[in-house]
Amino acid sequence: MVSGMNGVGLVTGAASGIGLATAAALLDAGVRRLLLADVNDGALLAARADLHQTYPDAEFELFTVDVTVEAQVQAMVRRAVERFGRIDYCLNSAGVGSAGKSVGETSLEAYNHTVSINQTGTFLCLKYELAQMDRQEPLHPGARAQRGAIVNIASVLGLKGLATAVSYCTSKHAIVGMTKVAAIDYTGKKIRVNAIAPGWIETAMTAPPEIAALVEMETRPERCPAARPGQANEIADVIVFMLSEKASYVNGTTWTADGGLLTH
């Protein structure tokens, strides 16, 4: 179990799913200053209330953000720094799912909607998080010192394809690529950028009946050695390790957490 993380966290998509689970896992690991960001302000308030019950000594800053709007993302990072002085651990989790139409049937509007949130939104978050981390000194001295660490949410569908999911697969493949480039661009700066590629996880995104049926099919034993979908807290535990100094030699990579789905 990771412990002793005493820096400042920033989580987008924090009102539900993997984002909310990661916020809780960061608090479990010792973080006590946390900016929670989401497009849904009502759900964000509910998330803070739930977290505050378990972690009454933690400080929370809430920020309603549309990650496709550059000025809002810039303001989000600025708010975290104004409140807490720095940012040390960032999870870029805001995203949407999409599937159901072949490439030829997918409208440009639907394609751009998914790509703008998943791909462009992640880019904008990276851009301003990295700029802030580059301005600050490492939190701790020593060989494992880091100015900051970032994890982007990719997907196993950023490493493979899925019929009728062109915009989603494209956006997640892009996140894998931009993660590598960001790690290279900040070589020697003591800033790490990684991605995680979850498999089929039980969240609100996979709850609609047509998606739930796909999850059931994709997590059968003949397709997935774990023989079940994952839980958000299982992904969160991996993310927190990747953000911590215990993962100090992990950089520019995408870790799968898929129950063995990609073994087939």
Catalytic residues: 168, 172
Provide the token pair at 191. Answer: 């800033």
Task: Check if the beta carbon of residue 31 is closer than 8 Å to that of residue 6.
Answer: yes
Task: Check if the beta carbon of residue 248 is closer than 8 Å to that of residue 144.
Answer: yes
DSSP-derived 3-state class of residue 12:
strand
Enter the DSSP assignment of 117.
I
Distance CA 110, CA 212 (A): 21
Provide the token pair at 165. Answer: 């999911």
DSSP-derived 3-state class of residue 97:
coil
| Closest alpha carbon to 198 in 178, 215, 177, 222 | 215
Spatial neighbors of 216 by CB under 8 A, at least 6 apart, are: none
* Cα Dmax for the chain: 54
Task: Check if the beta carbon of residue 140 is closer than 8 Å to that of residue 128.
Answer: no
